Amino acid sequence: MLRRQLGRKLEALRKAAGLTMEKAAEDLDRARATLYRIESGAENVRFRAADVKEMLKLYGASDEDTELVLAMAAATRENKNWWHDYIGSGLPRWFQLYIGLEAAASNIRQYQAELVPGLLQTRAYAEQLFLMPSGAIEAEDRDGQERAIQLRVERQALLTRFSAPQLSVIINEAVLRRPVGSTTIMAEQLQQILKAAELPNVTVQVLTFSAGLHAGAMSGAFSILEFPRDGNGREVEPPVAYLEAATGAIYLDKSHETAAYNAIWADMAGRALNPSRSKSLIQQVAEEYSRA
């Protein structure tokens, strides 16, 4: 998130100076693509002090902005997040941004049509998923699979940390009914969901088959992440809608894009069982697996 904030700050300074991205790139003797990656806060960009100072000079930044931007750039070089250990094995590069945003979010909403959300999965359930063909990790890469599973487990500490985010989940009834692995794995997995739903910051709703057609039927699975506000009540980071595919992901942060997913969420939340009735259904299905 810090990288994205820094990139947006540099973009704002460039625009305030009346420079297009093409002109700024030319004056800085950089490729336009490089400047785009800088302003996007890309993970592979190093905000070197000399380069940042050159940009600030070109943009005519004030002393106050210069001090702020240089401090932010220094922080990106010093900060090494826990998930960086997984880069290159078990953590696709396109997923790195999501992990960082998830860790910084104050509110996470997720809809899943087929699978239990990663933050609620048991290790045994996750192991079954990584046995399936995937665009991110080769089936023969056992070490990569194990590291990806461990990453998924470690991410779940997010829910019980100090100042944990609010997690709201809507799952299709198919998530409960479709066996993943053995009946024992499914029974344990559904009990794990119920356990998580007891946390004060976690809400789970089930969208039953009887709800009929709903807006999520056309959108597929997605997440909406919202971030803390500063002392003046302003967003420090715009909300992001995240859509994942086998070999990549889409991050949508324009207001009309996130508004569309908020509308889809509102439709599904209104059709889904309330949290209490959802827990009852999950418990019922868990008992069915236990008896099978």
> What's the pLDDT band for 278 if we cut at 50, 70, 90?
very high
DSSP line for 74-105: HHHHH---GGGGGBTTTB-HHHHHHHHHHHH-
The per-residue pLDDT for 188 is 98
| CATH number, domain with residue 33 | 1.10.260.40
How far apart are the C-alpha atoms of 269 and 170, rounded to whole Å? Answer: 7
Average pLDDT estimate for 253-275: 96
The per-residue pLDDT for 133 is 76
Final residue belonging to a domain, choices 78, 107, 135:
78
Average pLDDT estimate for 91-105: 77
What is the CB-side half-sphere exposure of residue 114 using CA atoms within 13 A?
5
Q: Are residues 111 and 31 in the same domain?
A: no
Range of the domain at 160: 84-291
> What's the pLDDT band for 137 if we cut at 50, 70, 90?
low
| CATH number, domain with residue 129 | 3.30.870
Q: Are residues 249 and 105 in the same domain?
A: yes
- The token duo for 25 is 């790139």
Query: Into how many domains does the chain fold?
Result: 2
Average pLDDT estimate for 270-292: 97
Q: Are residues 62 and 90 in the same domain?
A: no
Q: What does pTM read for this prediction?
A: 0.77
Q: Are residues 156 and 30 in the same domain?
A: no
Q: Are residues 139 and 164 in the same domain?
A: yes
DSSP 3-state of 2:
helix
> What's the pLDDT band for 132 if we cut at 50, 70, 90?
confident
DSSP 3-state of 250:
strand
